[in-house]
A and B are shown apart, each in its own frame.
Chain A
């Protein structure tokens, strides 16, 4: 079965640089989520999109922005990178069941490991 695709898988940046992470959800999934996982931490929710509109917002820094495109893929843009942004960034996707008003299980991509030097 098709899974969530994330690119790149690894990224090294300098402080104050910008980075763009991409996510391609599972086909027919209409909701995309972004999470940040620091070393030894649990994943922290950043932001989500449903049908190309922002649906929820977590602890996403103002330096980060994201969007979902017409083909449902999503991009997380990170500017003015700081050392503390070094982390594993996950994208997850799910399907919203309109008939029952319920969000289905989130399936995670393999993650993008970002290192800021």
Chain B
């Protein structure tokens, strides 16, 4: 069975601060896929990034960056210079060749002006 742990239930920062959302995963499958989704207060689930198990390259997209480390089974997400519009619940998720998405419990990020 797959498991995704997001230990941070809620994080509060002030605008322009950097913030890192942690994600730790468990799976016995050697091929797996990791995702981050954003759920703003309006409720939709927005896809942010996908990483395949065989590709440990870190990625940067504007103010967003992701650090994938197989050695620690972690896939952390950093927002640089946070903005109020970043306020949302962020879900880390895992899927394998044989199972669909398993989500973590989510981290609620509150960015105040």
Tell whether A and B belong to one assembly.
yes
User: What's the nearest-Cβ distance from chain B to residue A102, in Å?
Assistant: 7
Per-residue CB contact flags for chain B residues 13-35 toward chain A (1 = under 8 Å, else 0) read: 00000000000000000000001
Residues of B at the A interface (CB closer than 8 Å) are 35, 37, 43-47, 50, 91, 95, 97, 99-106
Q: Is the CB of A105 within 8 A of B45?
A: no
Q: How far apart are the CA atoms of A10 and B104 in the complex, in Å? A: 26
A interface: dominant SS: strand
Q: Which chain A positions have C-beta within 8 A of B35?
A: 105
Nearest-CB residue, chain A, relative to B106: A42
Q: Known contacts being A102-B97, A105-B35, is A42 close to B103, with CB within 8 Å?
A: yes
Q: Is the CB of A108 within 8 A of B95?
A: no
User: What's the nearest-Cβ distance from chain B to residue A48, in Å?
Assistant: 6
Q: Which chain B positions have C-beta within 8 A of A88?
A: 43
Q: How far apart are the CA atoms of A12 and B103 in the complex, in Å? A: 27
Q: Is the C-beta of A61 less than 8 angstroms from some C-beta in chain B?
A: no
Q: Is the CB of B100 within 8 A of A58?
A: yes
Residues of A at the B interface (CB closer than 8 Å) are 33, 41-43, 45, 48, 56, 58, 88, 90, 92, 101-103, 105-111, 113
Residue from A42, A101, A109 in contact with B105 in the complex, judged by beta carbons closer than 8 Å: A42
Give the 8 A-B CB pairs with smallest separation, nearest first. Answer: A108-B45, A42-B103, A110-B44, A105-B50, A45-B100, A42-B105, A43-B103, A42-B106
Q: Is the CB of A106 within 8 A of B101?
A: yes
Q: How far apart are the CA atoms of A94 and B83 in the complex, in Å? A: 31
Q: Known contacts being A42-B106, A105-B50, is A110 close to B95, with CB within 8 Å?
A: no
